[in-house]
Amino acid sequence: MKHSNFVMNILYAAVLPVAAAVFLFVSACGNITAPSDGTGTIQGESLTIRITGPGADSRTAIPSDAIGFTVDKYEVGLYKSTTPELIGTLATVENPGASESLTLSVREGGTSLQVIVRAYRGSTVAAIGRTSLTNADIAAGNSVTVTVSPVGEGTGSVRLGVTFPASAEITKVTADLDCGGASFTHTFGDGSTLINPQKIIVTFSSVGVGAGRLKLSFYRSGDVPAAVFSESVNVWQNAETDTWILPGMNISQSLDLSASDFYDTTVNITGLTAAFTSGGNNEITFSSEQTSYTINNPGSSQTNLFVSFALPMEGQNFTVTRGGTTQSFTYSGGRYTGTIPLTGGYNNIIITVTAPNKVSLKRYFIYFGNSDIYVSSNGSDTTGLGTSASPFKTVGKALSMVSGQRSIIPTATIHISGILNTIDEYSSSTTTPQTNIYIAGQSTYPDLTFQGGPSPGIIDGSGSGKNIMMIANGANVTMGSNLTLQNGTSSTSGGGVYIWGGSTFTMTGGVITGNEATLGNGGGVCISGAGSTFTMKGSAAIYRNQCISSSYGGAGIYVGSGASFSMSENAQIYGNTGGKFGGGVFVVDEAAFTMEGGTIGKNVSPNTSNSGGGVCVYRGSTFTMSGNALIAYNEAETNGGGVYVFSGNPDPIPCVFTMTGSARIENNKAVQYGGGVSVVSRNAKISTFTMATTNRVQNNQAASGGGVHNSSGILTGVAEGSTVINNTTPQIYIE
């Protein structure tokens, strides 16, 4: 059987002022090994054991009665962990002096060992402690700590003072004591139990004898953690633990904490810069009250924002997110720098700074609005950024990027490429199941422009059974070039677009086609309500839309209930069919239509309806033609091939139809009356038709009144041979 010797140097305190000693085992040299438990030997030269009274290296609490408690003998042994068998012999120190050295002979070792230390007063063990260590610990020279606790039965009490500075702003302290198997908690609340704002007395009664830990938790207003301390506490039988032993063996009746012992709550950042070019130095300064900053839109789409800042306090942490996605930052030269990819539309960048206390935090917001948002049939609402290089897939997603952000993005353009099927779209309002894309209110959305690009775009309503867009509650929407809205279906009105509630729709280009209203007005477009307006200009075209029911009108456009429509430049309305009134346009219930240019009707694709093939002006509405406006090549199954002006029945209201400038009505057909214009009044509610000498109603056809038919209306400037020419006879028919 092999033997190895351990030389143990024992440094100790002859006076043990508390029943908890710390033993540090350190390998004096390497190459100490051992085989498996129960066989072989441990080979090595020495272990150093340092014995210190508590307070020499850390602070602890003891009863004042224990000060001066002496130890007569130390006894140290190395044992197997699996059995209580002693390895080698016990090392003892009688009447210890300042230091001692001794050698232990170790006969047998194992992979798991324990050290047991006993402190004697006379023949009585006053304190005992043990800890485990492995041969690997010894070989590696690891330190091992042994805590020796008082032994005995019964209970004691704790009454300890703790002071802290007012500058720490502490509002609550909790104390938890785990000693002798018992756990106690006391909360000091709002300060009512403080001796003064800077001191507390921690008290526990009936605490089991032994050594334990006192956990002191300090909080600031709002239960924000300010510090946590874990202190050694020794409880003796029938004694009150009331004295602190501090490092250096200093004795105190109070544990005095300083401001530096508490968590710092600094949540500031410094030198924050944000720029659209790398290395830019557009500094953003937040005052103590300010936590948000809006970067003004530079007028062009931006793809990245370069952000840099510094943290002034060690121990601070931060996160940066854009739209909930965490951004990566690097550290160099005392600053954190990151490149944040920007989305189309609204960008909400949040810098969250956490104080060294790991709880206090502050959020800094940087807002930026990209006014250009890109949507493509090849895009993604999940991974796309809404940029030209990384587009979204749906208009609904694009709208969500600007919803509620009018103050940051007053205007926005949604660029659409490819064919978007509205089955992929969603309505932002569950109260509007009849629409695919719902845009409501200036308070919600910026002024929006939809246009095709970079390649032509189509929003296709096939299969959805809903109209394509609903513009409501004061929203302002523009439709630009290279965009088509097609195949929308409404069970009521506005198969393509429905505008109401004082909203504005401007169509400067693009096409609205192939849409239908099955049981309502406006197969292509419906504009309804006072304050609702539609402006059509440029090369915009509304064609080949339908009203399915013969009880409604405005296969192309319905303008009703005080709404207004203006048409100019090269805009065209043609090829729209079906309905009772107004194949191209139905203006009804005190609505207004102003036509300063453009064309209603087309030779190869006329507008058709029962009455008013091109236009029907109904119940108190007005229609004004001027400039080079042209109504041509429209057809009616009964009256008014070009225009039908009807005060209504029942409850008629006079209508007004006026031509000025060089406006013309030509080449229209009606089966019965008024190939060009038919004016019908009821119940003395007299409608009027006024022409200037520069206007022409010409080359129109009808059985009666090839040019103009009048039934109880008032005609002004309507003269055969001058303003009414070359129509089938009779050119003017008056009932």
Relative to beta strand 99-106, strand 4-11 is antiparallel
- pTM here? 0.68
What is the structure's pLDDT at 475? 95
Provide the token pair at 99. 């230091």
Whether residue 498 contacts residue 429, with contact meaning beta carbons closer than 8 Å, is answered with no
What is the structure's pLDDT at 73? 79
Q: Which residues make Cβ contacts (< 8 Å) with residue 354, sequence separation at least 6? A: 267, 316, 317, 318, 360, 361
Mean pLDDT, the chain cut into blocks of 10 residues (735 residues total): 30 33 29 29 43 57 74 78 75 64 50 76 75 65 62 80 85 78 51 57 81 84 82 84 83 88 83 81 70 77 90 90 94 94 93 85 89 95 93 93 89 95 61 77 89 95 86 96 96 94 98 96 97 98 95 96 98 95 97 98 90 97 99 97 94 97 98 98 94 98 98 97 97 96
What is the structure's pLDDT at 596? 98
Is the CA virtual torsion 227, 228, 231, 233 positive or negative?
positive
What is the structure's pLDDT at 287? 67
For 4-150, which CATH class?
A: mainly beta
What is the structure's pLDDT at 27? 25
DSSP reduced 3-state for 260 = helix
CATH 3.40.1000 fits 155-261, yes or no: no
What is the structure's pLDDT at 721? 95
Provide the token pair at 729. 């006879």
Domain extents in the chain: 4-150, 155-261, 270-370
Give the DSSP letter of residue 136: H
Among 276, 263, 366, smallest CA distance to 323 is for 366
CA dihedral 65, 69, 75, 81 (to 10 degrees): 20
Is the CA virtual torsion 282, 286, 291, 296 positive or negative?
negative
Domain 270-370 sits in CATH at 2.60.40.10
Q: Check if 155-261 and 270-370 are the same fold.
A: yes
Spatial separation of the C-alpha atoms in residues 415 and 455, rounded to whole Å: 9
What is the structure's pLDDT at 600? 98
E strand residue ranges, 461-591? 467-472, 476-479, 483-486, 489-490, 497-500, 504-507, 511-513, 516-517, 525-528, 533-536, 541-543, 546-547, 557-560, 564-567, 572-574, 585-588
Spatial separation of the C-alpha atoms in residues 613 and 681, rounded to whole Å: 18
Spatial separation of the C-alpha atoms in residues 607 and 677, rounded to whole Å: 15
Provide the token pair at 556. 């192309």
